[in-house]
Amino acid sequence: MGMTGVGKSTFINYFSDEPVPIGHTLEACTGKVDIYPSTLPDKTKLFLVDTPGFDDTYRSDTDILGELANWLNNSYAEKIRLTGIIYLHRISDTRLRQTAMKNLKMFKALCGEDGLPSVVLATTLWTNVSPADGVMRETELRENPNMWKKMIEQGSRVWRQDKDDKSAWEIIQYLISLKGPVTLKIQEEMSKGATLDETAAGQEVHTELEKQRQIYEKRLEELREEMASAIAKKDLERQDELAQFKAEIELKQAQMLENERKLQVDREELRRQKEEEAWREREELQEQLHQKNILIANAQRQLEQLKADNMHALDMQRIELQLQQSRADVARLERQLERRPPYCVIL
């Protein structure tokens, strides 16, 4: 787990039996819970679970929590337990910004105190800082009660992910050596009948939504006062601007209320919703795959015609490149379809 860009997918790539897409922008690359099988040198079979962070580019915290909770609930119901949890953090971050603090709070709420002894807090991107700055930031993470201090006191282990696959392998070996299955707090809570908003993690999301609600209500009140002033002054241009601002705030307010509603689900309702969502996504992917195959067929016909007409080599090269890209897109979509079965598959 961890924020976008901390190196989750890179870490998994050291072990995965299949390639993992790695993002190189600030946009989230991992949007869903993905499972990657790995065969260790001693033939041990390992499954690495890649999760989206609570700073996703396009999805709300409510949606991310629902995604995580559904996977964790289903694995718990199938009596599958985690071996350990790796929380990755960029040592290059000069301070914990609001999104980083939110991620950390959510992580603690998901795990609960009983899960913390099976947590590795791993710092990444050491090559992006001087040794002195890295040690200073690591010390702050260790000693600040709002950061990692309490987690360490409850058994979490700090590790430097600074030697690529070598340090990653050390982390994996350490977690395997614990030989204790992990049950996270949210799994216990929802297995006992709690709705998502009643869990500790759900309460964290609810707190953030409540802050948003207060901000929107305050801003709408300010806009009402500004609109009254604009009407009194017969300032039509200002009235139009304020009406647009009001519509934007009301849309965000409606989205916030919808996110609150999404939290009010129990384990079974969440599973049903995610199954329906998986079916829709699968149908969309199949349609995209169909369109890509049409593009490939058309490009192949164009290429054959160019060859028959002895056209310029550059034209053929252009179409061949288009074919390569389309085939790569088809392969990517097929992999996504394999990872988006209509039901939650537990490996």
Instruction: List, for residues 54-107, the tens digit of each pLDDT value.
Output: 887 788 999 999 999 999 999 999 998 899 999 999 998 877 777 888 889 999
The residue range of the domain holding 318 is 270-339
Is the residue at 93 inside a domain?
A: yes
Please check whether residues 254 and 283 belong to one and the same domain. Answer: no
Instruction: Out of 145, 174, 191, pick the residue that ends a domain.
Output: 191
How crowded is the C-beta side of 152, counted as CA atoms within 13 Å?
17
Please check whether residues 238 and 127 belong to one and the same domain. Answer: no
pTM of the model: 0.79
Please check whether residues 215 and 299 belong to one and the same domain. Answer: no
How crowded is the C-beta side of 44, counted as CA atoms within 13 Å?
11
**Which has the minimum average pLDDT: 15-19, 47-51, 153-157?**
15-19
Please check whether residues 44 and 184 belong to one and the same domain. Answer: yes
Please check whether residues 137 and 94 belong to one and the same domain. Answer: yes
CA distance 115 to 78: 19
CA distance 72 to 85: 13
Is the residue at 122 inside a domain?
A: yes
What is the structure's pLDDT at 22?
60
Is the residue at 45 inside a domain?
A: yes
Please check whether residues 135 and 169 belong to one and the same domain. Answer: yes
The CA–CA distances, whole Å, from 129 to 15, 134, 167, 195, 339 equal 26, 6, 18, 43, 37
Please check whether residues 163 and 17 belong to one and the same domain. Answer: yes
Please check whether residues 173 and 28 belong to one and the same domain. Answer: yes
The CA–CA distances, whole Å, from 193 to 65, 73, 162, 188, 250 equal 17, 11, 42, 9, 34
Is the residue at 1 inside a domain?
A: no
Residue-wise pLDDT tens digits, 26-38: 344 445 888 999 9
Instruction: Out of 262, 287, 302, pick the residue that ends a domain.
Output: 262
**Domains in the chain, number:** 3
Please check whether residues 245 and 124 belong to one and the same domain. Answer: no
